[in-house]
Amino acid sequence: MSVLEGRGFLLRHGLDTPYAAWITASQLDHHIPIQGAPWMLIRSLGELTAVFPGGLSLLWDLPIPSFTGLPHEARAAFWSALGHMPGLTLHLRDEAFACHLDGPVQGWFHSAAPPKADMGLAWRQGLIGWMPESGSAWSLPGLGRAEGPPEAPGSPASGCLWGELILSLGALAEVKAEDVVTLLADTQARMERDLSQRMSAQAWPASFPFLRRSTAWRLAILGGREYRLAGGAWEDAADRLKSFTAELAIALRTPVLAGSSSDFLAASILGHQAMREGFPWRYSLPMPPASPTFTPGLGADPRESTPLESRAESPMAIEMVTQHPPVAILRTSRVPDEAAALAFLMGQTSLPAVRWIPGDMPPPGPFSQDRPWAPLATFPPLVDLSQAHQQSLFDDLE
Protein backbone atom coordinates (compact mmCIF):
# COMPACT_ATOMS: atom_id res chain seq x y z
CA MET A 1 0.00 0.00 0.00
CA SER A 2 1.13 3.52 -0.79
CA VAL A 3 0.18 6.54 1.34
CA LEU A 4 0.54 10.06 -0.09
CA GLU A 5 0.03 13.19 1.97
CA GLY A 6 -1.14 16.22 -0.03
CA ARG A 7 -2.43 19.68 0.81
CA GLY A 8 -5.40 18.94 3.03
CA PHE A 9 -5.86 15.33 1.95
CA LEU A 10 -4.49 11.84 2.41
CA LEU A 11 -4.41 9.36 -0.50
CA ARG A 12 -4.15 5.61 0.00
CA HIS A 13 -3.95 3.16 -2.88
CA GLY A 14 -2.51 -0.18 -3.86
CA LEU A 15 0.64 -0.73 -5.85
CA ASP A 16 -0.15 -3.35 -8.47
CA THR A 17 -3.61 -4.24 -7.13
CA PRO A 18 -6.75 -2.35 -6.17
CA TYR A 19 -6.79 -0.94 -2.64
CA ALA A 20 -9.81 -2.78 -1.20
CA ALA A 21 -12.65 -5.01 -2.38
CA TRP A 22 -15.80 -6.91 -1.53
CA ILE A 23 -17.16 -10.27 -2.69
CA THR A 24 -20.18 -12.42 -1.86
CA ALA A 25 -20.16 -15.93 -0.43
CA SER A 26 -22.29 -17.15 -3.34
CA GLN A 27 -19.61 -16.03 -5.81
CA LEU A 28 -16.95 -17.90 -3.86
CA ASP A 29 -19.22 -20.93 -3.65
CA HIS A 30 -19.07 -21.26 -7.45
CA HIS A 31 -15.31 -21.88 -7.19
CA ILE A 32 -15.19 -23.62 -3.83
CA PRO A 33 -18.15 -25.66 -2.50
CA ILE A 34 -18.32 -24.14 0.98
CA GLN A 35 -20.46 -26.92 2.46
CA GLY A 36 -18.14 -29.63 1.17
CA ALA A 37 -14.73 -27.93 1.55
CA PRO A 38 -14.94 -25.22 4.22
CA TRP A 39 -11.20 -25.09 4.83
CA MET A 40 -10.57 -24.31 1.16
CA LEU A 41 -12.71 -21.20 1.68
CA ILE A 42 -10.41 -20.09 4.50
CA ARG A 43 -7.41 -20.61 2.23
CA SER A 44 -9.03 -18.68 -0.64
CA LEU A 45 -9.94 -15.78 1.66
CA GLY A 46 -6.39 -15.72 2.97
CA GLU A 47 -5.11 -15.31 -0.57
CA LEU A 48 -7.59 -12.53 -1.27
CA THR A 49 -6.82 -10.54 1.89
CA ALA A 50 -3.14 -10.68 0.95
CA VAL A 51 -3.94 -9.07 -2.41
CA PHE A 52 -5.98 -6.10 -1.12
CA PRO A 53 -3.98 -3.96 1.34
CA GLY A 54 -7.07 -1.97 2.39
CA GLY A 55 -9.03 -5.06 3.36
CA LEU A 56 -11.66 -7.40 1.96
CA SER A 57 -15.36 -7.53 2.88
CA LEU A 58 -17.21 -10.85 2.63
CA LEU A 59 -20.95 -10.49 2.07
CA TRP A 60 -22.53 -13.70 3.36
CA ASP A 61 -25.64 -14.01 1.16
CA LEU A 62 -26.06 -17.79 1.61
CA PRO A 63 -27.83 -19.75 4.36
CA ILE A 64 -25.51 -20.43 7.28
CA PRO A 65 -24.03 -23.88 6.49
CA SER A 66 -24.53 -26.60 9.09
CA PHE A 67 -21.36 -28.65 8.41
CA THR A 68 -23.06 -31.74 9.84
CA GLY A 69 -20.17 -33.92 8.70
CA LEU A 70 -17.68 -32.09 10.93
CA PRO A 71 -17.28 -32.45 14.69
CA HIS A 72 -18.32 -29.55 16.88
CA GLU A 73 -14.72 -28.45 17.49
CA ALA A 74 -14.02 -28.26 13.75
CA ARG A 75 -17.17 -26.23 13.09
CA ALA A 76 -16.27 -23.80 15.87
CA ALA A 77 -12.71 -23.50 14.54
CA PHE A 78 -13.99 -22.68 11.04
CA TRP A 79 -16.23 -19.83 12.21
CA SER A 80 -13.56 -18.56 14.57
CA ALA A 81 -11.01 -18.45 11.74
CA LEU A 82 -13.51 -16.68 9.49
CA GLY A 83 -14.41 -14.08 12.09
CA HIS A 84 -10.86 -13.30 13.19
CA MET A 85 -8.98 -13.36 9.87
CA PRO A 86 -6.76 -10.25 9.56
CA GLY A 87 -7.93 -7.93 6.81
CA LEU A 88 -11.37 -9.56 6.48
CA THR A 89 -14.68 -7.92 7.44
CA LEU A 90 -17.74 -10.16 7.60
CA HIS A 91 -21.19 -8.87 6.61
CA LEU A 92 -24.32 -10.96 7.17
CA ARG A 93 -28.10 -10.78 7.50
CA ASP A 94 -28.91 -14.13 9.11
CA GLU A 95 -29.60 -13.91 12.84
CA ALA A 96 -28.72 -17.60 13.18
CA PHE A 97 -25.05 -16.63 13.02
CA ALA A 98 -25.26 -15.44 16.64
CA CYS A 99 -24.63 -18.97 17.93
CA HIS A 100 -21.23 -18.99 16.19
CA LEU A 101 -19.93 -15.82 17.85
CA ASP A 102 -17.34 -16.91 20.40
CA GLY A 103 -15.78 -13.46 20.75
CA PRO A 104 -15.61 -10.03 19.10
CA VAL A 105 -15.34 -10.26 15.30
CA GLN A 106 -14.67 -7.67 12.65
CA GLY A 107 -18.15 -7.83 11.22
CA TRP A 108 -21.53 -6.19 10.75
CA PHE A 109 -25.08 -7.47 11.01
CA HIS A 110 -27.35 -5.78 8.43
CA SER A 111 -31.05 -5.25 9.17
CA ALA A 112 -33.69 -2.56 9.07
CA ALA A 113 -34.36 -2.75 12.82
CA PRO A 114 -31.88 -3.23 15.68
CA PRO A 115 -31.19 -6.92 16.30
CA LYS A 116 -32.98 -8.75 19.09
CA ALA A 117 -32.81 -12.13 20.83
CA ASP A 118 -29.40 -13.84 20.59
CA MET A 119 -28.06 -11.53 17.88
CA GLY A 120 -29.22 -8.51 19.85
CA LEU A 121 -27.38 -9.72 22.93
CA ALA A 122 -24.22 -10.35 20.89
CA TRP A 123 -24.52 -6.85 19.42
CA ARG A 124 -24.94 -5.18 22.82
CA GLN A 125 -22.02 -7.21 24.19
CA GLY A 126 -19.81 -5.74 21.47
CA LEU A 127 -19.26 -8.99 19.57
CA ILE A 128 -20.53 -7.57 16.26
CA GLY A 129 -21.70 -4.22 14.88
CA TRP A 130 -25.13 -3.32 13.50
CA MET A 131 -25.61 -1.61 10.14
CA PRO A 132 -29.11 -0.08 9.72
CA GLU A 133 -30.45 -0.48 6.21
CA SER A 134 -33.27 -1.93 4.17
CA GLY A 135 -33.46 -3.23 0.65
CA SER A 136 -31.17 -5.49 -1.30
CA ALA A 137 -28.06 -3.29 -1.33
CA TRP A 138 -25.27 -3.69 1.25
CA SER A 139 -23.79 -0.61 2.94
CA LEU A 140 -20.13 -1.28 3.67
CA PRO A 141 -18.34 0.98 6.19
CA GLY A 142 -14.96 2.01 4.86
CA LEU A 143 -15.83 0.89 1.33
CA GLY A 144 -19.10 2.09 -0.11
CA ARG A 145 -22.21 0.30 -1.30
CA ALA A 146 -22.59 -3.07 -3.00
CA GLU A 147 -25.56 -3.31 -5.32
CA GLY A 148 -26.65 -5.86 -7.84
CA PRO A 149 -27.40 -5.24 -11.52
CA PRO A 150 -30.87 -3.92 -12.42
CA GLU A 151 -31.93 -7.34 -13.70
CA ALA A 152 -30.88 -9.04 -10.43
CA PRO A 153 -30.95 -6.46 -7.61
CA GLY A 154 -30.79 -9.09 -4.88
CA SER A 155 -27.42 -10.45 -6.02
CA PRO A 156 -24.70 -7.85 -5.40
CA ALA A 157 -21.67 -8.12 -7.60
CA SER A 158 -18.09 -8.02 -6.40
CA GLY A 159 -16.32 -4.68 -6.55
CA CYS A 160 -13.02 -2.92 -5.87
CA LEU A 161 -11.63 0.44 -4.88
CA TRP A 162 -8.64 1.94 -6.68
CA GLY A 163 -7.93 3.93 -3.55
CA GLU A 164 -9.25 6.22 -0.85
CA LEU A 165 -9.03 10.00 -0.67
CA ILE A 166 -9.47 11.28 2.91
CA LEU A 167 -9.95 14.92 3.87
CA SER A 168 -11.59 16.89 6.67
CA LEU A 169 -14.96 18.57 6.27
CA GLY A 170 -13.38 21.97 6.87
CA ALA A 171 -10.98 21.45 3.96
CA LEU A 172 -13.86 20.86 1.50
CA ALA A 173 -14.34 24.62 1.22
CA GLU A 174 -10.69 25.12 0.17
CA VAL A 175 -9.58 21.94 -1.63
CA LYS A 176 -11.16 21.65 -5.07
CA ALA A 177 -11.67 18.62 -7.29
CA GLU A 178 -9.29 20.00 -9.91
CA ASP A 179 -6.55 20.07 -7.25
CA VAL A 180 -6.54 16.28 -6.95
CA VAL A 181 -8.00 14.90 -10.17
CA THR A 182 -4.67 14.81 -12.02
CA LEU A 183 -3.03 12.94 -9.17
CA LEU A 184 -5.86 10.40 -9.02
CA ALA A 185 -5.86 9.91 -12.79
CA ASP A 186 -2.11 9.34 -12.94
CA THR A 187 -2.30 6.96 -9.98
CA GLN A 188 -5.11 4.95 -11.56
CA ALA A 189 -3.32 4.72 -14.92
CA ARG A 190 -0.17 3.45 -13.26
CA MET A 191 -2.10 0.88 -11.20
CA GLU A 192 -3.91 -0.38 -14.29
CA ARG A 193 -0.62 -0.94 -16.11
CA ASP A 194 0.89 -2.71 -13.12
CA LEU A 195 -2.25 -4.78 -12.59
CA SER A 196 -2.12 -5.97 -16.20
CA GLN A 197 1.41 -7.22 -15.55
CA ARG A 198 0.22 -9.10 -12.48
CA MET A 199 -2.61 -10.74 -14.39
CA SER A 200 -0.40 -11.68 -17.32
CA ALA A 201 1.91 -13.41 -14.84
CA GLN A 202 -1.07 -15.46 -13.53
CA ALA A 203 -0.61 -13.87 -10.09
CA TRP A 204 -4.25 -12.77 -9.67
CA PRO A 205 -6.63 -14.98 -7.59
CA ALA A 206 -8.91 -16.97 -9.85
CA SER A 207 -11.77 -16.77 -7.33
CA PHE A 208 -12.10 -12.99 -7.69
CA PRO A 209 -13.53 -11.74 -11.01
CA PHE A 210 -11.93 -8.33 -11.56
CA LEU A 211 -14.05 -5.94 -13.63
CA ARG A 212 -12.78 -2.46 -14.36
CA ARG A 213 -16.28 -0.98 -14.67
CA SER A 214 -17.09 -2.08 -11.10
CA THR A 215 -13.93 -0.50 -9.64
CA ALA A 216 -14.34 2.90 -8.04
CA TRP A 217 -12.57 5.54 -5.97
CA ARG A 218 -13.68 6.43 -2.46
CA LEU A 219 -13.91 9.93 -1.00
CA ALA A 220 -13.93 9.81 2.82
CA ILE A 221 -14.55 12.71 5.18
CA LEU A 222 -13.81 13.22 8.88
CA GLY A 223 -13.56 16.06 11.39
CA GLY A 224 -17.30 16.60 11.79
CA ARG A 225 -16.97 17.97 15.31
CA GLU A 226 -14.34 20.53 14.31
CA TYR A 227 -16.49 21.58 11.35
CA ARG A 228 -19.43 22.28 13.64
CA LEU A 229 -17.24 24.13 16.16
CA ALA A 230 -16.16 26.44 13.34
CA GLY A 231 -19.80 27.32 12.65
CA GLY A 232 -20.30 25.07 9.62
CA ALA A 233 -23.71 23.80 8.53
CA TRP A 234 -24.33 20.18 7.55
CA GLU A 235 -26.32 21.26 4.48
CA ASP A 236 -23.40 23.30 3.14
CA ALA A 237 -21.00 20.42 3.73
CA ALA A 238 -23.36 18.01 1.95
CA ASP A 239 -23.58 20.31 -1.07
CA ARG A 240 -19.79 20.62 -1.28
CA LEU A 241 -19.33 16.86 -0.88
CA LYS A 242 -21.89 16.11 -3.59
CA SER A 243 -20.30 18.59 -5.99
CA PHE A 244 -16.77 17.34 -5.23
CA THR A 245 -17.79 13.72 -5.83
CA ALA A 246 -19.62 14.50 -9.07
CA GLU A 247 -16.70 16.47 -10.50
CA LEU A 248 -14.25 13.67 -9.68
CA ALA A 249 -16.50 11.03 -11.25
CA ILE A 250 -16.83 13.03 -14.49
CA ALA A 251 -13.11 13.77 -14.75
CA LEU A 252 -11.97 10.23 -13.90
CA ARG A 253 -14.80 8.47 -15.79
CA THR A 254 -15.02 6.19 -12.80
CA PRO A 255 -17.59 5.89 -9.99
CA VAL A 256 -16.65 7.81 -6.84
CA LEU A 257 -18.22 6.58 -3.59
CA ALA A 258 -18.59 9.06 -0.73
CA GLY A 259 -18.48 8.04 2.92
CA SER A 260 -17.11 8.91 6.33
CA SER A 261 -13.77 7.81 7.75
CA SER A 262 -13.36 6.49 11.29
CA ASP A 263 -9.59 6.16 10.93
CA PHE A 264 -7.81 7.55 14.00
CA LEU A 265 -4.44 7.65 12.25
CA ALA A 266 -5.70 9.61 9.23
CA ALA A 267 -7.42 12.09 11.54
CA SER A 268 -4.16 12.62 13.41
CA ILE A 269 -2.06 13.07 10.25
CA LEU A 270 -4.46 15.60 8.71
CA GLY A 271 -4.78 17.52 11.97
CA HIS A 272 -1.04 17.83 12.51
CA GLN A 273 -0.61 18.80 8.86
CA ALA A 274 -3.20 21.59 9.10
CA MET A 275 -1.58 23.05 12.21
CA ARG A 276 1.98 22.65 10.89
CA GLU A 277 1.27 24.24 7.51
CA GLY A 278 -1.11 26.89 8.81
CA PHE A 279 -4.07 25.90 6.61
CA PRO A 280 -7.31 27.91 7.01
CA TRP A 281 -9.25 24.90 8.39
CA ARG A 282 -6.94 24.61 11.42
CA TYR A 283 -8.76 27.14 13.62
CA SER A 284 -11.17 24.63 15.16
CA LEU A 285 -8.35 22.25 16.18
CA PRO A 286 -7.13 22.05 19.81
CA MET A 287 -4.32 24.44 20.63
CA PRO A 288 -0.93 23.22 21.88
CA PRO A 289 0.05 21.59 24.17
CA ALA A 290 -3.04 19.54 23.26
CA SER A 291 -2.67 17.28 20.23
CA PRO A 292 -4.01 19.04 17.07
CA THR A 293 -5.98 16.03 15.88
CA PHE A 294 -9.22 15.94 13.92
CA THR A 295 -12.06 13.84 15.25
CA PRO A 296 -12.62 10.64 13.26
CA GLY A 297 -16.04 10.43 11.66
CA LEU A 298 -18.82 12.98 12.02
CA GLY A 299 -19.69 12.79 15.72
CA ALA A 300 -17.74 13.35 18.90
CA ASP A 301 -14.50 11.50 19.51
CA PRO A 302 -15.29 7.94 20.72
CA ARG A 303 -12.21 8.11 22.97
CA GLU A 304 -13.79 10.87 25.07
CA SER A 305 -16.50 10.34 27.67
CA THR A 306 -19.00 12.64 25.98
CA PRO A 307 -22.76 11.96 25.90
CA LEU A 308 -23.81 9.06 23.71
CA GLU A 309 -25.95 11.35 21.54
CA SER A 310 -22.93 13.41 20.49
CA ARG A 311 -20.86 10.30 19.73
CA ALA A 312 -23.71 8.84 17.66
CA GLU A 313 -24.38 12.00 15.64
CA SER A 314 -25.43 11.11 12.10
CA PRO A 315 -26.42 14.18 10.07
CA MET A 316 -29.30 13.48 7.70
CA ALA A 317 -27.94 15.92 5.11
CA ILE A 318 -24.63 14.05 4.92
CA GLU A 319 -26.32 10.63 4.81
CA MET A 320 -28.25 11.69 1.72
CA VAL A 321 -24.94 12.07 -0.11
CA THR A 322 -22.79 9.25 1.31
CA GLN A 323 -23.00 5.57 0.43
CA HIS A 324 -23.24 4.30 4.01
CA PRO A 325 -24.12 5.70 7.46
CA PRO A 326 -21.25 6.92 9.65
CA VAL A 327 -19.84 4.53 12.23
CA ALA A 328 -20.53 5.25 15.90
CA ILE A 329 -18.23 3.49 18.38
CA LEU A 330 -20.13 3.76 21.67
CA ARG A 331 -18.19 2.80 24.78
CA THR A 332 -20.15 2.31 27.99
CA SER A 333 -19.22 1.24 31.49
CA ARG A 334 -21.37 -1.91 31.21
CA VAL A 335 -23.39 -3.90 28.68
CA PRO A 336 -26.52 -1.87 27.81
CA ASP A 337 -29.93 -3.38 28.41
CA GLU A 338 -32.10 -4.19 25.39
CA ALA A 339 -34.82 -1.71 26.32
CA ALA A 340 -32.28 1.04 26.99
CA ALA A 341 -30.50 0.47 23.66
CA LEU A 342 -33.77 0.53 21.72
CA ALA A 343 -34.99 3.64 23.54
CA PHE A 344 -31.71 5.40 22.81
CA LEU A 345 -31.86 4.58 19.09
CA MET A 346 -35.51 5.64 18.84
CA GLY A 347 -34.47 9.08 20.05
CA GLN A 348 -32.05 9.55 17.15
CA THR A 349 -33.29 11.42 14.09
CA SER A 350 -30.85 9.54 11.86
CA LEU A 351 -29.23 6.22 12.73
CA PRO A 352 -25.51 5.52 12.34
CA ALA A 353 -23.88 2.11 12.22
CA VAL A 354 -23.49 1.24 15.90
CA ARG A 355 -20.77 -0.78 17.58
CA TRP A 356 -20.98 -1.07 21.37
CA ILE A 357 -17.80 -1.32 23.43
CA PRO A 358 -18.83 -2.42 26.96
CA GLY A 359 -16.50 -2.09 29.90
CA ASP A 360 -15.38 -5.72 29.81
CA MET A 361 -13.97 -5.25 26.28
CA PRO A 362 -10.78 -3.39 25.42
CA PRO A 363 -11.30 -0.38 23.14
CA PRO A 364 -10.08 -0.60 19.54
CA GLY A 365 -6.69 0.70 18.46
CA PRO A 366 -4.48 2.22 17.39
CA PHE A 367 -3.55 3.74 20.73
CA SER A 368 -1.87 7.13 20.92
CA GLN A 369 -0.22 8.92 23.80
CA ASP A 370 -1.41 12.22 22.33
CA ARG A 371 -5.10 11.24 22.41
CA PRO A 372 -5.59 8.37 24.88
CA TRP A 373 -8.91 6.75 25.73
CA ALA A 374 -10.59 8.32 28.74
CA PRO A 375 -10.81 6.13 31.88
CA LEU A 376 -13.65 3.63 31.75
CA ALA A 377 -15.28 4.99 34.90
CA THR A 378 -15.90 8.35 33.19
CA PHE A 379 -18.02 6.84 30.38
CA PRO A 380 -21.72 7.17 31.26
CA PRO A 381 -23.80 3.99 31.33
CA LEU A 382 -26.85 3.68 29.10
CA VAL A 383 -30.04 3.76 31.17
CA ASP A 384 -33.65 3.22 30.15
CA LEU A 385 -35.40 6.49 30.95
CA SER A 386 -38.81 4.87 30.40
CA GLN A 387 -38.42 2.77 33.54
CA ALA A 388 -39.32 4.19 36.94
CA HIS A 389 -36.69 2.12 38.76
CA GLN A 390 -33.11 2.81 37.76
CA GLN A 391 -30.04 0.82 38.66
CA SER A 392 -28.51 1.77 41.98
CA LEU A 393 -24.96 2.95 42.29
CA PHE A 394 -24.27 -0.10 44.45
CA ASP A 395 -25.82 -2.75 42.18
CA ASP A 396 -22.41 -3.60 40.73
CA LEU A 397 -21.20 -4.59 44.23
CA GLU A 398 -23.76 -7.35 44.60
Q: What is the pLDDT of residues 297-351, one digit of tens each?
A: 999 999 999 999 999 999 999 999 999 999 999 999 999 999 999 999 988 888 9
pLDDT 10s digits, 181-237: 999 999 999 999 999 999 999 999 988 888 888 899 999 999 999 999 988 899 999
CA distance 337 to 86: 31
Say which range, 30-34, 131-135, 139-143, 381-385, has the weakest mean pLDDT.
Answer: 381-385
Note the pLDDT of residue 249.
94
Q: Is residue 395 part of a domain?
A: no
Residue 391 has a pLDDT of 53
Mean pLDDT of the region 91-119: 92
**Helix, strand, coil shares, percent, the chain, to 5:** 35, 20, 45
Question: What residues are paired with 356 via a beta bridge?
Answer: 330
pLDDT of residue 152: 59
* Residue 393, Cβ density class (10 Å: 0-12 exposed, 13-18 middle, ≥19 buried): exposed
Which residue in 103, 104, 26, 21 sits closest to 60, CA to CA?
26
1 pLDDT above the threshold of 90: no
- Is residue 154 within 8 A of residue 148, CB to CB? The reply is yes
Confidence of residue 149 (pLDDT cuts 50, 70, 90): low
pLDDT tens by residue, 16-69: 999 999 999 999 988 888 888 889 999 999 999 999 999 999 999 889 888 888
Q: What is the mean pLDDT of residues 173-180?
A: 91
Mean pLDDT for 78-87 is 91
**pLDDT grade, residue 133 (50/70/90)?**
confident
| Three-state secondary structure of 275-315 | HHHCCHHHCCCCCCCCCCCCCCCCCCCCCCCCCHHHHCCCC
Q: What is the rounded average pLDDT for all residues in the chain? A: 89
Residue 139 inside a domain? The answer is yes
Flag whether 394 is in a domain.
Answer: no
Does residue 373 form part of some domain? yes
Q: Is the pLDDT of residue 390 over 60?
A: no
**Domain housing 86:** 2-382
How many separate domains does the chain show?
1
Is the residue at 396 inside a domain?
Answer: no
154 pLDDT higher than 90: no
Q: What is the pLDDT of residue 389?
A: 47
Helical (H) or strand (E) element with 6: strand 2-6
Q: What is the pTM of this model?
A: 0.91
What's the pLDDT at 36? 86
pLDDT tens string 371-382: 899 999 999 888
Residue 217 lies in a domain: yes
Classify residue 391: in a domain, yes or no.
Answer: no
Residues in contact with 163: Cβ distance below 8 Å, sequence separation at least 6, in sequence order? 11, 12, 13, 14, 19, 184, 187, 188, 191, 217, 218
Residue 366 has pLDDT above 70, yes or no: yes
Please report the pLDDT score of residue 388 as a whole number. 46
> What whole-number distance in Å separates Cα of residue 242 and Cα of residue 38?
43
Percent of the chain with pLDDT over 70: 94
Over the range 89-98, which residues count as b (16 or more CB within 10 Å of their CB) and which as e? bbbbeebebb
Q: Under a CB-based contact definition with an 8 Å cutoff, are residues 222 and 263 in contact?
A: yes
Does residue 131 contact residue 139 with C-beta atoms inside 8 Å? yes
Point out the least confidently predicted range of 109-123, 146-160, 359-373.
Answer: 146-160
> Residue 398 pLDDT > 60, yes or no?
no
The answer to whether 354 and 312 are in contact (CB under 8 A) is yes
Q: Which of 133, 124, 141 is nearest to 89 (CA)?
A: 141
Strand pairing report for 159-168 and 215-222 = parallel
* Residue 323: inside a domain: yes
Higher-confidence position of 107 and 394? 107
